[in-house]
Structure 1
Amino acid sequence: MTQPAASGTTRVAVVIPAFNEEDTVANVVRVGLTVTPDVVVVSDGSSDSTARVAREAGAHVVELNENAGKGAALLAALHATQADLVVMLDADLMGLTHEHLQQLLEPVRSGQLDMSIGVFDGGGFVTDWGNKLTPHLSGQRACRRDWLLAVPDLGRERWPEPAITAHLKETGARWDYVVLEQVAQVVKEKKRGFWKGAQARTKMYADLLTYHARRKRP
């Protein structure tokens, strides 16, 4: 199990994988900067102004040449910081505040939990419903950086949440959900148009929900 760092010495980073999120990433960065100056955005082969907008908002930005998936972007972000604890955030969050990040951080920083997982409530029907249906797939988490780096195949998974959740179970880590009130995400149908968004959502859930079957293949 992980152990909290000595009081006053714990370094925190906020890591944000991002793919074409120029409209929302700056605000997520600004909220991240309220808890730490170490905010890392990895632009995962974005074709828009995500990297520039994040950099102007104050983040350290890593740019991947090709869209390799959220797992690869998350791994790149972890390698771009030496922090003890990391807060993982999606780049399309709305309603995020300093208090929400503290809610994620404190149980881990105090040693009560090895990982906290944020779930939405009151931010909007679609994202609330999605989080309540599959809370274990949430992208809002806090944990120790070294523990996260030890997740098998982290950088190979386009959507790394199932691999992270599986590692929680395999290592016997202590974890719990933290309710993030009034937080939501911009739905894919709004970002990409209805049909393209629906197709992207379907593919995402197919990848997420077939993780264990793919893992068992030789």
Structure 2
Amino acid sequence: MSAPAHATVAVIIPAFNEEETVAVVVNVARQLTSDVIVASDGSSDNTAQVARGAGAQVVELSENSGKGPALGAALQATDADFIVMLDADLTGLTLEHLEALLEPVLAGTLDMSIGVFDGGGFVTDWGNKLTPNLSGQRVARRSWLLGVPHLSEERWPEPAITAHLKATGARWDYVVLPNVAQVVKEKKRGFWKGARARTKMYAQLLTYRARRKKP
């Protein structure tokens, strides 16, 4: 099924304390569409102000609740047909990367595209290739995303999205994003704080099935 002739596209960017990088991501996103929404997930720095200054619509969550609630809030702030999801700490991102992610979903050949890094840096390349299903760079129809069970409840919603891909028989594939990387948690927060944050993240990700298993 091909995209409607006048299909609309929004970019949503969940962000927690990403004042150093969010403007760069917003600036690239605005080359694709004027409908760019940053969901500031209880940020204590200037993420919201910087994102507004770069031209994004900003939704501010009162406390840090996780990527899932931030995505949910951003989805409610737009009625676009198609959604491009991006992390706020990307480096090396270009309009061509966004077009490569969007094209197969707009064309109707995929229900979801998932971006994977290549050549952006050893650490992020390695982590992204080891667990590509956890990538935050994705494109899908808004209506499909709104149907993902528990999306707005999970601090890290990627397992919920993966489960819904399987449950709905959705067509998906990876799209390589050359020279794109992320600023790793250890660099942003300091080694020990970053390592603890990474450990908590993987604990949440790996326990999704157990926590959501029906009795």
Q: Give the shorter-chain TM-score range.
A: over 0.9
Partner of residue 162, structure 2: 165
Match of 1:67 among 64, 74, 89: 64
Q: Structure 1 counterpart of 2:97, which letter?
A: H
Match of 2:150 among 153, 166, 172: 153
- 1:44-59 equivalent positions in 2, closer than 5 A: 44-59=41-56
Match of 1:37 among 16, 34, 38: 34
Instruction: Give yes or no for the alignment of 1:86 onto 2:103.
Output: no
CA shift, 1:217, in A, is 5.3
Residue segments in structure 2 that go unaligned for 5+ positions in a row: none
CA shift, 1:147, in A, is 0.2
SS in 1 for 2:152: helix
Partner of residue 102, structure 2: 105
**CA–CA separation in structure 2 for the residues paired with 1:92 and 1:80:** 21
CA shift, 1:4, in A, is 3.5
Instruction: Give yes or no for the alignment of 1:190 onto 2:168.
Output: no
Match of 1:208 among 196, 201, 205: 205
Q: Deviations over 1:106-129 (max 9, x none)?
A: 000000100000000000111101
* TM-score between the two structures when normalised by the length of structure 1: 0.97
After superposing on structure 2, the runs of 4+ consecutive aligned residues of structure 1 that deviate more than 3 Å are none
**CA–CA separation in structure 2 for the residues paired with 1:148 and 1:82:** 12
Q: Structure 2 counterpart of 1:96, which letter?
A: L
> Matched residues, percent identical?
76
Match of 1:114 among 111, 116, 130: 111
SS in 1 for 2:98: helix
Q: Structure 1 counterpart of 2:34, which letter?
A: P
Instruction: Give yes or no for the alignment of 1:127 onto 2:124.
Output: yes
Q: Could you say what the CA RMSD is over the residues aligned between the two structures, in angstroms?
A: 0.8
CA shift, 1:56, in A, is 0.3
Q: Deviations over 1:112-158 (max 9, x none)?
A: 10000000000011110111110000000000000000000100000
* TM-score between the two structures when normalised by the length of structure 2: 0.99
